[in-house]
Amino acid sequence: MLKNYFKIAIAVLKRRKFFTFISLFGISFSLTVLIVLTAFIDNGISANYPDTNRDRSLYINFVGLRKQLPNGSSNWNGSGSYYFLHHYTSMLKTPVKVAISSNTSATNTYVNNKKLVIGVKYTNDSYWDVLNYVFLEGKAFNIQQIENGDHVAVISEDLKNSYFGDVPSVVGKYIEADNVQYRISGVVKNVGVTNLYASADLYLPYTVSKGNYKDESFIGSYNAILLANSKADLPKIKREYDQLVSRISPGKDWDQLIVHADSYLETFTRQLFGGGTQRNSGFATFVWVTTAFALLFLLLPTLNLVNINTSRIMERSSEIGVRKAFGASSKTLVLQFIVENIILTFLGGFISLVLSYIILQIINNSNFLQNTALTINATVVVYAFITCLVFGFISGVYPAWRMSRLQAVDALKKV
Amino acid sequence: MIPLQNTENSNYPASSPSSTMIRLKNIEKVYRTDTVETLALNNISINILKGEFLSIMGPSGCGKSTLLNIMGLLDAPTKGEVKIDEQKTGQLSDSLLAAFRNKKLGFIFQSYHLINDLRVLDNVELPLLYRKLSAKERRRLATEALGKVGLSNRMKHFPTQLSGGQKQRVAIARAIVGRPEIILADEPTGNLDSAMGSEIMDILLNLNQTEGTTIVMVTHDENMAQKTHQLIRLFDGSQVQ
């Protein structure tokens, strides 16, 4: 029976090539966009090198101060200062380690009188334990070197190649940035630019930064990653941190201090959908918005399919009449039609996977996102196929219902 | 035993008809639109015996096809009762009706109604799809049915590659593949030239004689009708003979 449905489905698709093209284009285009988008989101939020402990990490990347005024409020937002992050996170008992690093800032260096713009990050010593960098040579600077304010550096493989060229080893050599010489202690494998907490070319001890790391104001240019022993400890750390923050006085100029230890995804959703309130991380809103967007996006090709299928019923009335005359019940015909539709959408799904693969390869090869490899992962494929199934089902139900109401005698007369 | 009526051609003796196969009692069919009410069939009562070959004649629009559709359970009468093989059909659900049609009835249409997207063999297999049969068994039965209508060499063709006569033979193979007890043929020779028409008629007569299949045929062709056991004439929805 299924084989017969399959034959009919393929024959119908071949018969009306233009409609088939429109239907398949609608499905595959929408699914391709979703798959490529998911690949971007997936790459952005899932644990990847060197931030491989993301599922047991919490991030502090936002500090806000607020003052209620008669006609609104005054806000001061930004990253945290080194002092603020270090001072308060060191009071927490649950985290195993706390990585503190600055936002990556651009600076200039010169190779043979040619300017090279590089990203610089200042870090503490735990940074190298929390993030699992792969050292191609040498090692990270240690706590002693940090405390001494030694001019030591870890550089990326890219920087090594562009600064020194193709040489076997650069550990112990010096690199100049912003007119300061740093001795190289290690070279790490490149990090993708989408990895905000880890991507840089030159990593330096926070103590050599030109900014005053002892400044006690809350706002600065640093982020913290709190590493838990296990995923189960995360809620505990959140609670502990929230309690701690509630005891911190925002100072005489401000009414409220807003800072949270969030999961990686929450750091984005809080800023996008959280509305800056104390409690709401915006995560639920994020889920709703993305689901609604995906559904709306999929609704268009579904409606297109419903439309095409409904008009095709008239075209196929002879077949419907014959099948009814020879013993197909309305239920059987509904099933046949839904199966046909699912075959069509699966075909669209397959095309979209091929298209997505090609598009992602083009993006990866274009170096549009440096050192970032976007991939179609298994989860995305599974979701794409579930979507196809739902797609096929939904777009088949209404036309099938219309069809089943067609009387055999009327269906046969129409030809 | 109910005697045969209007058996006008003794060259084609009946295959010993006995009990009633189709019984129509006081059938009335009214088509209603918002403004007009048309009486398509008016108080028709017919008994058709098992193994009988009956033809229905009448001018266009007199209700022949409507009557055939009611016998084939493709259409419901406005009033009256349809019994097939002693089974009242009025109260059967959609799925029971479908199963009943599948088992008892085979249809042949003037315009063949073959599915052009399927090969000849798949077209003939169609009624068997709605039975619990293996693919192999379906194939065997369909091949056998095509053999009976002399189209064994056209199994892999598509309907569009066949002549009108060949298409109608495929339609006959499809109608007989499930070995139904009744075949309802709506102007089966209407679209064919006389030679082809005779060929199709011979197949039907042969089927009636050798297999004892009850056949009801709507026709415009007096010669064809004369070859059957019983002839009913309709005029403006009423039986006149």
Per residue in A142-166, pLDDT tens? 999 999 999 999 999 999 999 999 8
Decide if pLDDT at A24 tops 90.
Answer: no
Say whether residue B31 is in contact with chain A using an 8 A CB cutoff.
Answer: no
Give the CA count within 13 Å in the CB-facing half-sphere of A350: 6
pTM over 0.90: no
Decide if pLDDT at A56 tops 50.
Answer: yes
Question: Residue A407: its chain B contacts at CB < 8 A?
Answer: 74-75
Decide if pLDDT at A170 tops 90.
Answer: yes
Answer with the residue of higher pLDDT: B48 or A306. B48
| Cβ contact, residue pair B94, A15, below 8 Å | no
The C-alpha of A394 sits at a distance from chain B's nearest C-alpha, in angstroms, of 24
Give pLDDT, residue B1: 32
Question: Residue A415: its chain B contacts at CB < 8 A?
Answer: 111, 113
| Cβ contact, residue pair B129, A1, below 8 Å | yes
Which of A27-36, A102-111, A321-330 has the least mean pLDDT? A27-36
Give the span between the Cα atoms of A134 and A191, in whole angstroms: 10
| H-assigned helices in A226-316 | 234-246, 264-273, 283-315
Decide if pLDDT at A365 tops 50.
Answer: yes
The C-alpha of B93 sits at a distance from chain A's nearest C-alpha, in angstroms, of 10
User: Can you say whether residue A37 is alpha, beta or left, with left for phi > 0 and alpha for psi between -120 and 50 degrees?
Assistant: alpha
Q: Which residues contact A4 (CB under 8 A, 6 or more apart)?
A: B118, B122, B125, B129
Beta bridge partners of A155: A187, A202
Length of chain A equals 415
The pLDDT tens digits for B205-222 are 999 999 899 999 999 999
Which of A381-385, B134-138, B220-224 has the least mean pLDDT? A381-385
Candidate ranges A272-286, A307-321, A336-350, B140-154; pick with highest mean pLDDT: B140-154
What single string gives the DSSP state of each residue in A132-159? -PPEEEE----HHHHHHT--EEEEEHHH
Is A393 strand, coil or helix?
A: helix
Give pLDDT, residue A123: 96
Say whether residue B118 is in contact with chain A using an 8 A CB cutoff.
Answer: yes
| H-assigned helices in A116-255 | 127-130, 143-148, 157-164, 234-246
Q: Name the amino acid, one letter, at A120.
A: V
Q: Name the amino acid, one letter, at A313.
A: I
Say whether residue B240 is in contact with chain A using an 8 A CB cutoff.
Answer: no
The arithmetic mean of pLDDT across residues B28-33, rounded, is 90
Interface probe for B, chosen from A8, A20, A326, A401 (most Cβ of B below 10 Å), is A326
Candidate ranges A99-103, A370-374, B31-35, B147-151; pick with highest mean pLDDT: A99-103
Say whether residue B126 is in contact with chain A using an 8 A CB cutoff.
Answer: yes
| Cβ contact, residue pair B113, A7, below 8 Å | no
The C-alpha of A321 sits at a distance from chain B's nearest C-alpha, in angstroms, of 9
Give the span between the Cα atoms of A69 and A43, in whole angstroms: 41
Give the span between the Cα atoms of B239 and B241, in whole angstroms: 6
Q: Is the dihedral of CA A376, A378, A380, A381 positive or negative?
A: positive
Give pLDDT, residue A371: 66
Give pLDDT, residue B11: 42
Cα angle for residues B71, B74, B77 (degrees, 5° grid): 65
The arithmetic mean of pLDDT across residues B155-180, rounded, is 93
The C-alpha of B8 sits at a distance from chain A's nearest C-alpha, in angstroms, of 31
Is the peptide bond prior to A50 cis by the omega test (within 30 degrees of 0)?
A: yes
Cα angle for residues B228, B230, B232 (degrees, 5° grid): 115
Beta bridge partners of A153: A184
Interface probe for A, chosen from B126, B128, B134, B170 (most Cβ of A below 10 Å), is B126
Give the span between the Cα atoms of A172 and B86, in whole angstroms: 103
The C-alpha of B124 sits at a distance from chain A's nearest C-alpha, in angstroms, of 11
Q: What's the distance, CA B74 to chain centroid?
A: 12
Chain A to chain B Cβ contacts (< 8 Å) = 79
Length of chain B equals 241
Token pair in block for residue A316: 């196929």
Q: Closest to A7 (Cβ–Cβ): which among B75, B111, B118? A: B118
